[in-house]
């Protein structure tokens, strides 16, 4: 079931040469990690804009040129962070035992673990959403440049939905809807200044309760009609092909 994810991560990551066992590559990977970690720590402390590449290089103990050798730009560091978070999210859910859990519990696990991972990185998320309105930008969180990461994040949700064995159309609708919900939750999360972002957690609980409630209602004729309408609309809007791709990978 997870084969596609491994394929994808192998295809997208340009620095898996560390597995070759060559000590030079290991050294190189360490330097890269050092630069990335230094950057993220500075980003968390002072924010993305206030941190300069020179700061990062100094903290990592390398020259400015070295930092640019590993990361073509400050944005590229954000991209690496983006991928790192998604790898972590995928890995955590892969480890979890979901066997006895309900759909709602599985989805709660998906949403909560995402929030856990991002707990201290709320300042960083702004950098990820920064180019969401610029389709051509490689870091646009809805654009082609982040397609792989986006599909991975949809896959995590699809894996939590699949065991429910829903009709295909409803499964598509639910997965896409939940993915959109997750994006909305993350935005709320950034703006949530309650202690430990407890409001966001409650929002997740409530949203999932309503989702599962509406899911039960979706079998009734009237809402079944609405459901077909929504699906036809999303299909016409071209928002489903990517999802189909993710669903095919499960078979």
Partner DNA sequence: GTCTATATAGCGATAGAC
Partner DNA sequence: GTCTATCGCTATATAGAC
Q: Cα-Cα-Cα-Cα dihedral of 228, 234, 238, 239, to 10°? A: -120
Identify the CA nearest to 158 among candidates 141, 143, 173.
173
The answer to whether 64 contacts DNA (rule: CB under 7 A) is yes
| Residue of the chain from 68, 69, 112, 188 that contacts a copy of itself (CB under 8 A) | 188
Q: Helix 3-12 vs helix 74-95: angle between axes, to the nearest 10 degrees?
A: 160
Quickly list H helices, the chain.
3-12, 23-46, 53-60, 64-70, 74-95, 103-118, 122-129, 147-161, 168-191, 198-217, 221-236, 241-248
**Which of DNA, a copy of itself, none binds 74 (CB below 5-8 Å, type-dependent)?**
DNA
Residue appearing with tokens 């409630």: 213
| Residue of the chain from 21, 23, 100, 237 that contacts a copy of itself (CB under 8 A) | 237
Q: How far is Cα 168 from Cα 44, in angstroms, rounded to an integer?
A: 42
The answer to whether 226 contacts a copy of itself (rule: CB under 8 A) is yes
Identify the CA nearest to 40 among candidates 71, 16, 15.
71
- Exposure string of 10-19, with b = 16+ CB inside 10 Å and e = fewer, is eebeeeeeee
> Of 2 and 225, which CB lies nearer to a copy of itself in the complex structure?
225
| Residue of the chain from 97, 100, 195, 222 that contacts a copy of itself (CB under 8 A) | 222
**Which of a copy of itself, DNA, none binds 213 (CB below 5-8 Å, type-dependent)?**
a copy of itself
Q: How far is Cα 189 from Cα 40, in angstroms, rounded to an integer?
A: 19
Residues that bind DNA (rule: CB under 7 A) add up to a total of 24
**Which of DNA, a copy of itself, none binds 112 (CB below 5-8 Å, type-dependent)?**
none
Please, what is the minimum distance in Å from the beta carbon of residue 211 to a copy of itself?
10
The answer to whether 228 contacts DNA (rule: CB under 7 A) is no
Give the footprint of a copy of itself on this chain (CB under 8 A): 125-135, 137, 142-143, 187-188, 190-191, 199, 202-203, 206-207, 209-210, 213-214, 217, 220, 222-223, 225-226, 229-230, 232-233, 236-238
Give the footprint of DNA on this chain (CB under 7 A): 24-25, 27-28, 31-32, 51-55, 61-66, 68-70, 72-75
């Amino acid at each position: 079931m997870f084969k596609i994810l491994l394929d994808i991560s192998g295809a997208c990551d340009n620095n898996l040469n560390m597995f070759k066992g060559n000590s030079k590559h290991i050294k190189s990977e360490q330097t890269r990690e050092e630069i990335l970690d230094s950057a993220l720590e500075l980003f968390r402390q002072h924010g993305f804009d206030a941190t300069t590449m020179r700061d990062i290089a100094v903290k990592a103990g390398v020259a400015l040129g070295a930092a640019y050798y590993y990361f073509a730009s400050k944005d590229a560091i954000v991209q690496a962070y983006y991928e790192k978070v998604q790898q972590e999210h995928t890995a955590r859910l892969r480890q979890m035992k979901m066997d006895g859990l309900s759909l709602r519990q599985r989805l709660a696990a998906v949403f909560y673990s995402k929030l856990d991972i991002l707990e201290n990185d709320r300042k960083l998320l702004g950098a990820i959403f920064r180019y969401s309105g610029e389709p051509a930008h490689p870091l646009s969180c809805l654009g082609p440049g982040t397609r792989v990461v986006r599909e991975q994040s949809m896959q995590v949700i699809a894996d939590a939905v699949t065991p429910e064995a829903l009709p295909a159309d409803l499964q598509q609708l639910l997965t896409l809807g939940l993915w959109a919900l997750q994006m909305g939750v993350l935005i709320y999360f950034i703006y949530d200044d309650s202690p430990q972002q407890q409001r966001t957690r409650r929002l997740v609980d409530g949203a999932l309760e309503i989702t599962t409630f509406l899911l039960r209602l979706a079998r009734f004729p009237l809402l079944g009609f609405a459901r077909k309408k929504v699906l036809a609309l999303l299909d016409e809007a071209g928002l489903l092909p990517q999802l189909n791709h993710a669903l095919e990978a499960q078979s």
